[in-house]
Structure 1
Amino acid sequence: MITPPEIKKKAERKYVSFLQSLVLNTPFEKLVIRGDKTYTKSSLPEFEKEIQLIITQSKEKKGFGYTLEFQQVKTKYLGTQDLPTSIYFDTEIDFLKFLKREKEVELFRESIIKIIKTFPELKEWIIKNPIRIIQNQTEWESILKVCQYFTQNPNPNLFIRELPINIHTKFIERNQSVIKDLLDILISEHINKEEKQFEKRFNLKYAEPQVRFKILDREISRKFFLGIDDVAIPKSQFEALDLPVEKVIVSENKTTFYTTLTLPKLEKAIAIFGSGFSVSNLKNVSWLEDKELLYWGDIDVQGFEILSQFRGYFPQTKSILMDRHTFDKFFENDNGTPSGISAQLNLTDKEKQLYDILKLNNWRLEQEKIPFDYVNKYFENE
């Protein structure tokens, strides 16, 4: 026989559709709870105890909740007994008081009135997402302020905390998920649909990755950077640079990037800290397309995979100090990190041969283990 906790569980399952009916202004209809129609108790006291349990939690005893309808049924073991054949909630109040949701639904009604009055076009979203209305029920006034600002200013070009909205400075950051869903509807023609990051999607400024580089030509350093030769700037600013350089060295690791300070000063050259797979930050730097590009990474599988990635952006890229001679000369039997990549790589035949050897044996020679004088001698001969 069904128990009061099971009745409550089944009633909870009807709660979402009830909320949807409120949005649609559908009158409340009797909510029927399907009961267990099998009665297997062979002991009359046990049977009576179960019957009394569901009766004590019913509207008849509590003044609200589910109503029971009984019918005389002939049972296998207990003879003819009055058994509950129908369980239902007759009114909205009965249903909500039983679930202890009266206040929640009162706030839900207030919220949907406020939202639909401000943005009628959100009604369909509310119908599909009633629980999210409840989850955010203390925040709707502020959420709607944010939405109103964006509908009037769909291309703010400001940082989130610069937006002139009378809300807590961290409010948007804390409520991005629901705000995103609403703005996707309200300003759909202005959003960058392919972008998942909130700031990029909604035309806001954001903390860009920095590109760090060294100017290896003293004249360029003096003329463009007041003599500074170690610079880090946002990616978009780096993309917009217009420097008279011809050669660009990209170094995988920070330590070897520092090594470029010891290089012989090179005319019309800069060195960039690639930071491993973060070389993806350089893929839209169009002014690199006609430069001589030299990539210097670890002699391990990841080093060659990053080289392949970078060469995918700039096919003219040449690897340096990543050859078999350098590997054999300085290898110290270090293990690398296994790679699961099986795709075809953008490598030359010699690079691919070394890559396969490294992958098979899980070997690694870090850039840092190549002596400075060997590196300097290489560039002196460049």
Structure 2
Amino acid sequence: MSKPTTARWGTAAAVKAAAQTAWDAGHVLRELHQSPQERAHFPRRVRLSGPKSADLAEHLFEVSTWARGLRTAASAQGWRLETRTMSAGALGRQTVPVYAWLDTPPIALGVLGRAAATQADTFARCLQQAEGSPSATEVALARPHAVVAAATDWPLLLAIVDWVAEHPRPGVHIRQVPVSGVHTKLVAQHEALLSRLLDARLPNTAINPDAGTFTGRFGFTSPDRHVLLAGRPEVLGLPRSTDPDQSSPSTAVAFWPITALQALDPPAVGIDTLLVTENKLSAETAPHLPAQLVLWGSGNEASSVLAALPWLHKVRVRYWGDVDTHGLAILGRVRQVAPHVEPILMDLATLHAHQEHWVVETTPTRSEELPGLTAAEAELYRLLRDNVIGDRVRLEQEFIRFDRVLTALATKQPLSRPAPDRP
């Protein structure tokens, strides 16, 4: 008589392994809080490898022992066995387990043990704390293990999201959010989860999808951040050139901490215009105008920098960016924080006048519409987005003829709308 291969037959360990797989994927924690109709992974069937017909006749005792062990485990842990009858030759037909069923998430939780039960209690508490916020509940159900890992700080994260929802693109450092308990390491520890919470809660106009940092995406800033400025040396706190051969007024370039820029009083130092450029070289080489201060907006970061400046309403704000889908997207976001912004050299005429310098925009944005654009700007965006003018056309601002730059910057049309009052 051959020895049966009982080591390969399914046991309660296979059921626990299936429960662990469901746990690791978040299905158990999620579906603990869903109705039976909403559940996608429970009931959960676990195939149990078992004896063949020949084993029944030759090794009925071993088969009976194996089946009895499964029934005992199922009874103790609450899962269900599905059986089928098999021929055992002269012994007739015998009932053999073929599947185990984890019918509900609580049953799977019972299989996993005390540690999982403790985490399930933690997750339930986090969901309770998120009551009244459908977006936070949605994020929690999508990422239950991330929420459990952040459980200690979860109420704090929810409070931050509530505050940002009331103050979109706030232009402050995360440490300055007026929520008790906020600390400087909070974002570093929970950036992915906090990003998901903010993405789910905030309107599209409050999110910069092209920003490469958390601060840029949601309009925060850092007191330690420095920005490049170009202007009169005395405005930037630098000595004026004493070169006797210098026939034109000098322009200085300096990096300032954004906190110093926030404290500037432009009218007091003779500044009435702030020119924001998308690219650094354009800021450094912009024509000198005594009453103009030039700010390099660092591309996608322009709106968050401007949002931090309390004196925007005191000056004319002009924006000069690339003529492509991303340049127009940045312009739209700038207008969210500076409604009186005037675009410079970002129009169809400028684009057509420099066709020899067109390049391909590698990853254009494909949004249906961009908030904050005028009708003419929105039409230009549509033409670029839909490749009406050409395939992913892009004109970088550095290639615009400098005589056109001089003319555009020297021309100041009356504001098309009044600057908003600010306290």
CA offsets, 1:283-332, max 9 Å, x none? 35342124212211112333233323323433322222234554344331
Instruction: Indicate yes or no: 2:395 matched with 1:368.
Output: no
CA distance in 1, matches of 2:230, 2:355: 30
Q: Specify the alignment match of 1:218 in structure 2.
A: 233
CA distance in 2, matches of 1:309, 1:172: 23
Whether the 8 Å CA contact 1:210–1:233 is kept in 2: the answer is yes
For 1:74-153, what aligned pairs fall within 5 Å after superposition? 78=89, 79-80=91-92, 83=95, 105=114
Amino acid across the alignment from 2:65? I
Deviation at 1:256, TM superposition (A): 1.2
Deviation at 1:249, TM superposition (A): 0.6
Q: Equivalent residue of 2:318, what SS?
A: strand
CA distance in 2, matches of 1:267, 1:81: 101
Q: Specify the alignment match of 1:254 in structure 2.
A: 280
Q: Specify the alignment match of 1:45 in structure 2.
A: 55
From the superposition, tell whether residues 341 and 258 of structure 1 become closer, same or farther in structure 2 (CA, over 3 Å).
same
CA offsets, 1:71-106, max 9 Å, x none? xx9966645466478x99xxxxxx9xxx7x78xx48
CA offsets, 1:220-259, max 9 Å, x none? 223xx6777422324x664454332210111111221222
CA distance in 1, matches of 2:408, 2:73: 86
TM-score scaled to structure 2, two decimals? 0.49
CA distance in 2, matches of 1:179, 1:318: 34
CA distance in 2, matches of 1:159, 1:314: 24
CA distance in 1, matches of 2:342, 2:127: 57
Q: Equivalent residue of 2:323, what SS?
A: coil
CA offsets, 1:175-211, max 9 Å, x none? 788999xxx9xxxxxxxx9799xx99xxxx9846836
Whether the 8 Å CA contact 1:213–1:270 is kept in 2: the answer is no
Aligned-CA RMSD value: 6.5
Amino acid across the alignment from 1:275? S
Q: Specify the alignment match of 1:304 in structure 2.
A: 328
From the superposition, tell whether residues 239 and 322 of structure 1 become closer, same or farther in structure 2 (CA, over 3 Å).
same
Q: Specify the alignment match of 1:187 in structure 2.
A: none
Whether the 8 Å CA contact 1:259–1:372 is kept in 2: the answer is no
From the superposition, tell whether residues 81 and 208 of structure 1 become closer, same or farther in structure 2 (CA, over 3 Å).
farther
Amino acid across the alignment from 1:300? D
Whether the 8 Å CA contact 1:252–1:296 is kept in 2: the answer is yes
2:317 aligns with one of 269, 286, 293: 293
Q: Specify the alignment match of 1:27 in structure 2.
A: none
CA distance in 2, matches of 1:80, 1:351: 80
Amino acid across the alignment from 2:10? T
For 1:1-382, what aligned pairs fall within 5 Å after superposition? 3-4=10-11, 6-9=14-17, 43-46=53-56, 52=62, 55=65, 78=89, 79-80=91-92, 83=95, 105=114, 173-174=188-189, 207=222, 210=225, 212-222=227-237, 229-234=253-258, 238-244=261-267, 245-260=271-286, 263-264=287-288, 266-281=289-304, 282-283=306-307, 285-332=309-356, 334-337=358-361, 338-343=364-369, 346-347=373-374, 349=376, 352=379, 356=383, 359-362=388-391, 363-372=393-402, 374-376=404-406, 378-379=408-409
Q: Equivalent residue of 2:227, what SS?
A: strand
CA offsets, 1:160-183, max 9 Å, x none? 9xxxxxxxx989955788999xxx
Deviation at 1:349, TM superposition (A): 3.7
Unmatched segments (≥5 aa) in structure 2: 1-8, 33-43, 77-83, 101-106, 130-139, 156-172, 177-183, 208-213, 241-251, 413-423
From the superposition, tell whether residues 175 and 297 of structure 1 become closer, same or farther in structure 2 (CA, over 3 Å).
closer
CA distance in 2, matches of 1:258, 1:322: 19
Deviation at 1:124, TM superposition (A): 7.3
From the superposition, tell whether residues 310 and 178 of structure 1 become closer, same or farther in structure 2 (CA, over 3 Å).
closer
Whether the 8 Å CA contact 2:325–2:381 is kept in 1: the answer is no
From the superposition, tell whether residues 241 and 48 of structure 1 become closer, same or farther in structure 2 (CA, over 3 Å).
farther
From the superposition, tell whether residues 369 and 106 of structure 1 become closer, same or farther in structure 2 (CA, over 3 Å).
closer
CA distance in 2, matches of 1:381, 1:51: 99
CA distance in 2, matches of 1:323, 1:159: 40
Deviation at 1:277, TM superposition (A): 3.1
Deviation at 1:212, TM superposition (A): 1.8
Whether the 8 Å CA contact 1:300–1:355 is kept in 2: the answer is no
TM-score scaled to structure 1, two decimals? 0.53
Q: Equivalent residue of 1:271, what SS?
A: strand
Deviation at 1:367, TM superposition (A): 0.9
From the superposition, tell whether residues 291 and 174 of structure 1 become closer, same or farther in structure 2 (CA, over 3 Å).
closer
From the superposition, tell whether residues 341 and 287 of structure 1 become closer, same or farther in structure 2 (CA, over 3 Å).
same
* Greater Rg by CA: 1
Q: Percent identity?
A: 18
CA distance in 1, matches of 2:87, 2:300: 73
Question: How many residues matched?
Answer: 314
Deviation at 1:274, TM superposition (A): 2.0
Amino acid across the alignment from 1:280? S
CA offsets, 1:100-149, max 9 Å, x none? x78xx48988x999x9xxxxx88978xx99x969x87xx99xx69x99xx
